Amino acid sequence: MNKPSLVVLAAGLGSRYGSLKQMDHFGPSGETVVDYAIYDAIAAGFGKIVFVIRKHFEAEFKEMFGPKMEGKVQVEYVYQELDALPKGLSVPESREKPWGTAHAVMMAAPVINEPFAIVNADDFYGRSSFQKIHDHLSTLNNEELSACLVGFVLENTLSDHGRVSRGICQVDENGNLKEIIERTHIFKKENVGAYFEDEGVKTELTGKEIVSMNLMGFTSVIFEQMEEAFAKFYKEQSGHPKAEFFIPTTLDNVRKSGIKVPVLMSEERWFGVTYKEDKPIAQRNLNQLVEKEVYPHKLWT
C-alpha cells in the first residue's frame, strides 16, 4: 500500500493576521509554522505533501518550500479558487469569500489515491499527533470509506487575542465520534473556560471539551462523497456570500453514514497564529522546543 499523504491547507489569505501567515517566519532560522508540520510528517512516515494554495502567490510559495522539500518527500501543488467548482456550477455574483476548508480539500482529489491526513498551515500540532494519525491511516483499506480525527483539549487551543473557530466534538465511551459542530466564534474567558457566540447568544464552555484542529484523516474514496455534499451545500447556500463548506461537516457525514470515526487524543499542546499578536508566542514556543532539542536549530539542511 502507498504511504499516507498529507494535505496542507495553505490557501488562506490571513485576513485576521494581516498577511500570508503560512509564509511568515517563526522558527530560529526563519522557519514557517508549516515547516514543523512537514518535518514531523516526514519523520512519522508520510510519503507525499500536497499543498493547497492560491494561484496569485504560487511563485512565491514554491520558491519558499520547493528547495526545502527536494529529495526529502514527494510534493504536489493544487489550487483553491472561487471558480474551481464541480461541473455545472458557477460562481454567484455576490461571492467573494473562498468556499471553505472542505472545498480546499476537494482540490487535492486529482493527486490523492491513498489514505491522507489534513492540516492547517498555521497550526502547530506536535510530532506525536502526526505519528498517531499516520499509524492509524496505515491500517486502512483505501477502497473502503473511513475517517479519523486527532482530538485536542479546547483550553490548549485558544488565542488570547480574539475569536477562533473549532469543531467541538462529542465522543462515546469507545473513543468514537458522536457529533462534531463547527463553532466559528469561540473566545477565551479572562480566568477559566471559554464561550462561543451564535447570533448574539453566548454559550458557556468549560475549556475541557475535545475539539478538532482540522487534523483529520480519510481514505481517498471520500472525494466522491465530498463532491455530492458540496453540490447540496451549493444549492442551499449559494445565495449566502459568506457561507462556507467546512471539513468537520464532511467528517460528520461519514459518521452519520454509520461508519465509526475514532478520535485519536493528542497529548500535545497546540498553538497557532490566528492574529498578529500570536506571532511572538509561537516564536517563543518554537524556540523552547529547539532549546529542548526536540527540533534542530536549522530545520532543513
The one-letter code for the residue type at 2 is N
The whole-number pLDDT of residue 14 equals 54
Neighbour-count burial for 159-187, b at 16+ CB within 10 Å, e otherwise: beeebbbbbbbebeeeeebeebebbeebb
* Nearest-angstrom CA–CA distance, 221 and 145: 6
Closest CA to 150 of 266, 260, 34: 266
The number of angstroms, rounded, from the C-alpha of 293 to the middle of its chain's C-alpha atoms is: 26
pLDDT digits (tens, 9 = 90+) for 10-32: 987 555 544 567 788 899 999 99
The single-letter DSSP state of residue 163 is -
Closest CA to 261 of 123, 116, 148: 148
The one-letter code for the residue type at 143 is E
What CA–CA distances, in Å, run from 15 to 19, 40, 188? 7, 27, 20
Position with higher pLDDT, 285 vs 2: 285
Q: Is 5-151+211-291 a domain of CATH 3.30.1360.120?
A: no
Mean pLDDT to the nearest integer, 214-235: 93
87 neighbors 42 (Cβ within 8 angstroms)? no
User: For the chain, what percent of residues have pLDDT higher than 90?
Assistant: 56
The whole-number pLDDT of residue 33 equals 93
The whole-number pLDDT of residue 1 equals 64
Whether the predicted model's global pTM rises above the 0.85 cut: yes
The whole-number pLDDT of residue 151 equals 95
The one-letter code for the residue type at 200 is G
The whole-number pLDDT of residue 11 equals 85
Domain residue spans of the chain: 5-151+211-291
What CA–CA distances, in Å, run from 18 to 55, 104, 123, 279, 280? 19, 21, 16, 12, 15
The single-letter DSSP state of residue 95 is -
Mean pLDDT to the nearest integer, 152-174: 86
- Whether the predicted pLDDT of 73 surpasses 90: yes
Give the position of cell 483529520: 216
Biggest alpha carbon distance in the chain? 54
- Whether the predicted pLDDT of 48 surpasses 60: yes
The tally of CA atoms less than 13 A away on the side-chain side of residue 130 is 25
- Whether the predicted pLDDT of 109 surpasses 80: yes
The whole-number pLDDT of residue 272 equals 80
Closest CA to 274 of 194, 196, 166, 168: 166
The whole-number pLDDT of residue 271 equals 85
Q: Minimum mean pLDDT among 30-34, 72-76, 187-191: which range?
A: 187-191
User: For the chain, what percent of residues have pLDDT higher than 70?
Assistant: 97
The whole-number pLDDT of residue 167 equals 84
The tally of CA atoms less than 13 A away on the side-chain side of residue 265 is 14
pLDDT digits (tens, 9 = 90+) for 244-294: 898 888 998 999 999 999 999 998 888 888 778 888 999 999 999 999 999
Instruction: State the average pLDDT for the chain.
Output: 90
The whole-number pLDDT of residue 17 equals 44
Residues 6+ apart with CB under 8 A from 96: 82, 241
